[in-house]
Structure 1
Amino acid sequence: MVCQNCQQVIEQLNINIDLFFEKLETASNRRQISEIDKEIICQSLLGHSRQHIAEM
């Protein structure tokens, strides 16, 4: 299931977020990006401030 912010990234920014995360994991040699990391990345891509993200 895709998180709400991830779905917004797909719809508003037309970014294949699953492919983005896959390439990010490959590039960083990480096995899997955590769900909280994905949420933070999506919120950042949507233009939310660091303060707003921290409050959530």
Structure 2
Amino acid sequence: MTDPTPDPTSARAAEDRDRRRLALEKKRERYVWYYLGYFLFGIHIVAFVMIYAVTHAK
């Protein structure tokens, strides 16, 4: 017969895995926001340069 009580070491290991997975997911989400911010900032710089070029063209 098997013991119906869960093994505390396996429960602790599963909890540690979940905690690491959530930390990694949070880190990756933060990187996505950084990349999005840099991308949008870059688009605005390009747009301002193009506007300047068009308004000062001869």
Q: Please give the TM-score of this superposition, normalised by the length of structure 2.
A: 0.27
Which structure has more relative contact order (CA 8 Å, sep 6+)? It is: 1
* Greater percentage in helix: 2
TM-score by length of 1: 0.28
Please say which structure displays the higher CA radius of gyration. 2
